[in-house]
Amino acid sequence: MNEHNPHTPSDLEQTDSLEESILRLSEKIRLISDAVRALHQDRAQLESKIEDAQKRIQHILSRLPEQSDGRQMNLLGEPAASNNPEDDNEPTTH
């Protein structure tokens, strides 16, 4: 009753086709996995850059004068401009 049926050419073609499909899918999965890994690395780098930028912003904000302080502060650390009244940069009326 349980007779062993040898594989027919059609069965072999289907098996070969399935194996090819499995190989193609395996390659696609590998490529997708590599892409996901690269995206995770990119995200980690971007998160690090964002964190560094937030620290720099916080540092700049911490250097701001209190609102009650009427003085101006040089946030960029550049040399302060001269307070010479002759250099007040007002337009002349000639």
In a domain, 70, yes or no: no
List b or e across 71-84, with b for residues whose CB sees 16 or more CB atoms inside 10 angstroms. eeeeeeeeeeeeee
Domain count for the chain, please give it.
1
Q: Quick check: 9 pLDDT over 80?
A: no
In a domain, 83, yes or no: no
* Residue 60: closest CA among 76, 71, 48, 38: 76
In a domain, 81, yes or no: no
pLDDT single digits (tens) 38-86: 999 999 999 999 999 999 999 999 988 777 656 665 656 666 555 555 5
What pLDDT sits at residue 81?
A: 58
In a domain, 2, yes or no: no
In a domain, 45, yes or no: yes
In a domain, 60, yes or no: yes
The residue range of the domain holding 24 is 10-64
In a domain, 18, yes or no: yes
